[in-house]
């Protein structure tokens, strides 16, 4: 399986918002980039994560207005992160344990390097399993 570093290097640049941006602006970015979560950065530091789940539970269900609510009011500020040293399996276990779908990847100095989604990890796992199956079939046939 490819290391986490290769997974995030193959992804487009990380899309982020500021905590004072409106929820509507964040939703626009989610739609524009066809993604499910945004990192919330303040002065280059990770302060939270904003997801479709946050929107559904903290705006729609509470009757708030997206255009008037800052991201800071509904973002998740207790963010689980991973480092490049962690494996795909460790990331999947953390996501399962925490019931989350996105993990920021941080560097040695707590700088944001990217974000991985459960979809990224599942795709990598399937690719790895497919390769293993192909190798086994080749071995058996020869």
Specify the number of domains making up the chain: 1
Question: Residue 102 — φ and ψ, nearest 5°?
Answer: -140, 140
Place of tokens 């100095």: 109
Upper half-sphere CA count for residue 90 (Cβ side, 13 Å) = 11
Residue 22: give the domain boundaries: 4-141
CATH number at residue 134: 3.10.580.10
Q: What is the pLDDT along the chain (142 residues), one digit of tens a residue?
A: 677 888 888 787 889 999 999 999 999 999 999 999 999 999 989 999 999 999 999 998 888 889 999 999 999 999 999 999 899 999 999 999 999 999 999 998 989 999 999 999 998 888 777 777 777 787 788 7
């Amino acid at each position: 399986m490819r290391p986490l570093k290769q997974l995030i290097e193959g992804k487009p640049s990380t899309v982020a918002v500021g905590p004072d941006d409106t929820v509507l602006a964040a939703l626009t970015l989610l739609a524009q980039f066809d993604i499910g979560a945004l990192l919330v950065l303040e002065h280059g530091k990770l302060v939270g994560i904003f997801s479709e789940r946050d929107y559904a539970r903290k705006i729609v269900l509470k009757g708030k207005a997206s255009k008037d609510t800052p991201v800071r009011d509904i973002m998740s500020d207790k963010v689980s992160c991973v480092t490049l040293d962690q494996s795909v399996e460790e990331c999947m276990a953390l996501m399962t344990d925490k019931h989350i779908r996105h993990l920021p990847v941080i560097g040695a100095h707590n700088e944001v390097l990217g974000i991985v989604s459960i979809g990224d990890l599942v795709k990598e796992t399937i690719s790895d399993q497919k390769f293993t199956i192909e190798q086994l079939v080749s071995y058996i046939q020869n």
